Amino acid sequence: MRRFGCFAVLMILLWSMWGCGGVEPEKRAYPLVVSVDIQDGQCQVIYGMANLSFSTGQDKSGGDSGENGNTTLLFTGKNMQEILQMYNRTQESYLDLGHVQVFILGKNLASRPRDLDQVLQYLENQPILGDGANVFVSEDPKKIMELNGSRVESLGTYLTGIYENRPDDREDMMVTLQDVYREWHRGGSLTLPDLDVEEDFPEIV
């Protein structure tokens, strides 16, 4: 009887991890970097995935990859929830935000407290999204995101590596989502590392 009870508990745990997710790993899309900005009064979100064809030399054809091999998806809507609905209507893969390494906030968004509040509230309410992702700000997030899969294999991994591989130079500049949430709840603001493009590569300025 005790053995049966342990087996039942194990099956429940497996069901909670697999059944509730409901989507097999190969049918998910895994953005490693996400940018959010306000353009013409609308929320603009760009998802950037790792470019497998860049690293393996194999051509993975599909509508998600732009010219020069970049692998980004751009959506514009009135808010984050509408953008998620647009993604679900147009993309076959389930959007899995559990592996996001970097968030890039546009300066237009950062200068609009009400819009920024809505975005941060949405992100904080996503249970799958960890709060350890590095956060940057950029005048032109779209220009930065175009480097994903073209000039660098994965923009998220590249920017995270700048901190991890040069801790003495960069550690004091690192800001995570957790830091942003904490200061946001306090009613304060943080100075975020600024991203620009220099000679077709992302640069922290």
Q: What is the pLDDT of residues 6-49, one digit of tens each?
A: 444 434 333 344 444 578 888 899 999 999 999 999 999 999 98
**CA pair distance 93, 18, nearest whole angstrom:** 16
Instruction: Determine the angle formed by the axes of helices 177-186 and 113-124, rounding to 10 degrees.
Output: 120
- Whether 73 contacts 35, CB under 8 Å: no
Tens-place pLDDT, residues 163-187? 887 766 666 678 999 999 999 999 9
Please state the φ and ψ torsions of residue 49, each to the nearest 5 degrees: -105, 165
Compute the distance between CA of residue 99 and CA of residue 102 in angstroms, rounded to an integer.
Answer: 9
The percent of residues above 70 in pLDDT, for the chain, comes to 76
pLDDT band at 70 (very low <50, low <70, confident <90, very high): low
Mean pLDDT, rounded, of the chain: 82
By the 8 A CB rule, do 44 and 79 touch? no
pTM of the model: 0.81
